[in-house]
A and B are shown apart, each in its own frame.
Chain A
Amino acid sequence: DGGITQSPKYLFRKEGQNVTLSCEQNLNHDAMYWYRQDPGQGLRLIYYSQIVNDFQKGDIAEGYSVSREKKESFPLTVTSAQKNPTAFYLCASSLPLQTGNQPQHFGDGTRLSIL
């Protein structure tokens, strides 16, 4: 079955530590996205990538970094510069804009908490 896999489901970060969230998709989608969701709020875009080896900042990129070395993979690193990292992190993918406006499909998320 095609889908998006995020790991781990739960992650705890110590002060001053960088942590990396994994996102892998086998939907053959060019575009991938990272969102953050806080209680009672809508999803906010952290980074997006339209194609391999290219990525752009979203609305709240400070304290985060990404890479896109393979089409299937779009890992997100939460750095120690992100002072309020506790949230639900969601990875998504879609067909590119050139195919028309497309919905995005989500992985099942990673919950990050501070120790």
Chain B
Amino acid sequence: RKEVEQDPGPFNVPEGATVAFNCTYSNSASQSFFWYRQDCRKEPKLLMSVYSSGNEDGRFTAQLNRASQYISLLIRDSKLSDSATYLCVVNPLFSGGYNKLIFGAGTRLAVHP
């Protein structure tokens, strides 16, 4: 089983739609969680951290469910510019003493007019 699993998609949605991605992780002791965005042939960029109580940043909402070991990202009112691959990233507890991050393979989102 992969340490971080995501549905590869693509999710094809019209502008203005609400879309949600889930991500599951295998290490129940994982400490921190992030969503990154990666445009085609570009580097990943931090979208938002995921906090235990859930958090929102504009049209983006992230949730954490520790009991079921998944995190989610909700995008409201999708824009064409939201088209990208969204990477789920987990920091496991037993990381050998360094700031280790485990990256999912990503979920591709395509927003169309």
Contact = CB atoms under 8 A, between A and B. Distances in A.
B104 to A, nearest CB: 6
The bracket for how many chain A residues form the interface is 20 to 34
Contact of A41 (B32, B96, B105): B105
B98 A104 contact: no
Given A42-B4, A42-B87, A42-B106, A97 B99 contact: yes
Given A40-B8, A41-B105, A108 B42 contact: yes
A90 B87 CA distance: 15
Nearest to B108: A40
Contacts of A43: 44, 87, 103
A104 B43 contact: no
B101 interface: yes
A101 interface: yes
Contacts, number: 56
B59 interface: no
A109 interface: yes
Interface residues of B, number: 27
A42 B89 CA distance: 10
Interface of B: 4, 8, 31-32, 34, 41-46, 49, 87, 89, 91, 95-106
Complex A-B, nearest 6 residue pairs according to Cβ-Cβ distance, in ascending order: A101-B32, A106-B43, A42-B103, A43-B103, A42-B105, A97-B99
27 contacts: A31-B99, A40-B105, A41-B105, A42-B87, A42-B102, A42-B104, A42-B106, A43-B87, A43-B103, A48-B100, A50-B97, A56-B96, A90-B43, A90-B44, A94-B99, A95-B99, A96-B99, A102-B99, A103-B34, A103-B89, A103-B101, A104-B99, A104-B101, A105-B46, A106-B43, A107-B43, A108-B43
